[in-house]
Amino acid sequence: KLVARVARVVYARHRNGGIYTGQRIGVSLRILIAGTRGSAPVTGPAADPFGGDTTCVLVTGAGGERVILDCGTGLPALAPRLGPAPQLLILVTHFHLDHLAGLGTFSPLYDATARITLASPSLGGITLDRAVRGLLGPPYWPLDLDKMAARIDFRDLPPASGEPLSA
């Protein structure tokens, strides 16, 4: 139920500078939208109202639990908000580059005290593990994923059913 409720308010950035406290949906949440753009990041005055980074959302519950939705170019900006030795769950909606492009420069990947779980259903027969390893390694990235300091786990989720989410 929590994820379904969050989905209803993710587009709340314009209301409160990217932060939404979800009392109106019956839970206490803070939602920080670090990126909303599609396809490619943009810069300049035209980007000012909504920011120029691609999709990335940080959801923080009342108890401090955190979930990151997508790894767009807004992801590195979240690192200072995560504190030392972050334990993170990152849900990836799909494997387009604009939803993964922030991973390589996300500083917790280079922190030996960080534990990061990346989760998504397989898409078109390709797992998230395969997609990320294809992106974060030669020839596209100078450092292989296995050589990054953080403990990185991948979790395969069941495919979406089209049914509303429930607890």
CA distance linking residue 110 with residue 122, whole number of Å: 26
User: Using DSSP, how many helices (H) and how many strands (E) does the chain show?
Assistant: 4, 7
Per-residue pLDDT tens digits for 82-102: 999 889 999 999 999 999 999
DSSP-derived letter for residue 123 is B
CA distance linking residue 111 with residue 108, whole number of Å: 5
CA angle 90, 78, 33 (to 5 degrees): 80
Q: In the prediction, which pLDDT does 104 show? A: 95
Per-residue pLDDT tens digits for 103-150: 999 999 999 999 999 999 999 999 999 999 999 999 999 999 999 999
Radius of gyration, CA atoms only, the chain = 16
More confident residue, 46 or 12: 46
CA angle 26, 31, 36 (to 5 degrees): 130
Per-residue pLDDT tens digits for 20-66: 444 455 567 888 888 887 777 777 777 666 677 889 999 998 888 89
CA distance linking residue 33 with residue 20, whole number of Å: 9
pTM: 0.79
